[in-house]
Amino acid sequence: MSFNLDELKKRMNGALDVLSKEFMGLRTSRASTALLEPLMVEAYDGKMPITQVGSISTPEARLITVQVWDKSLVKNVEKAIRDAGLGLNPMAEGQTIRVPLPDLSQERRQEIAKIAAKYAEQGRIAIRNVRRDGMDLLKKLEKEGEISEDEHHRLSHEIQSLTDDYIKKIDQHLAQKEKDLLRV
């Protein structure tokens, strides 16, 4: 068994990637295909990601369109968007579904900012869990005599420094998302 700082870095990057994806699903005043990408649609006796039944695009700043490939699924896609809890009202025109983005009220913007803060806290927890795993491994390696006490101390500082950097990145992501959300 050996210690690998790159492995911890990779896991921390994974936590940051998850946070970025979650943030993309939070609605700001600009249209984004990421808003609809997580949706699942009833199709062919099961649930499928919306991206597998049609193509999503943003032809205008306040409009998302979904070009549904199979005409029989238009109603299901429309229902999935309406029932997603995003406050959207899709309108079907043939095989194209137009989803205009309504203005966000200040109250709704603040609710979404709170959700973003929860996502950020989950990201911080994930980063700290990676740190804990790394520290536990160092203790075990020192106990087994594979690394010295000085080496343990030095690597602990590296792990803490890495953790601090990633927590800072999460805080920066959150600050940017809040700025986007609260801008009218």
pLDDT, one tens digit per residue, over 71-104 is 999 999 999 988 887 778 899 999 999 998 877 7
Give the count of alpha carbons within 13 A of 47, CB side only.
Answer: 5
Q: Is the pTM of this model over 0.75?
A: no
Instruction: State the CB neighbour count (10 A cutoff) for residue 34.
Output: 17
Residue 27: pLDDT above 70?
no
Where are the alpha helices (H) located in the chain, listed in sequence order? 5-24, 74-82, 106-143, 149-182
Task: Please give the Cα distance from 129 to 5 (Å, whole number).
Answer: 14
Distance CA 55, CA 94 (A): 14
Determine contact, residues 119/23, Cβ cutoff 8 Å.
yes
What confidence score (pLDDT) does residue 1 get? Answer: 64
- Residue 45, phi then psi, degrees to nearest 5: 60, 30
Is the distance from CB of 90 to CB of 36 less than 8 angstroms? no
For range 134-150, the mean pLDDT: 92
Q: Which pLDDT score is estimated for 28? A: 64
CATH 1.10.132.20-classified regions of the chain:
5-24+105-182
CA distances (Å), origin 68, targets 84, 92, 183: 17, 10, 32
CATH topology for the 5-24+105-182 domain:
Topoisomerase I; Chain A, domain 4 (1.10.132)
User: Please, where in the chain does CATH 3.30.1360.40 lie?
Assistant: 33-100
115 Cα distance to chain centroid: 11
Cα separation of 177 and 119, whole Å? 11
Q: Dump pLDDT digits (tens) for 102-121.
A: 777 788 788 888 888 999 99
Alpha-carbon gap, residue 54 to 126, rounded angstroms = 33
pLDDT at residue 14, rounded to an integer = 94
Q: Does the domain formed by 33-100 have CATH 3.30.1360.40?
A: yes
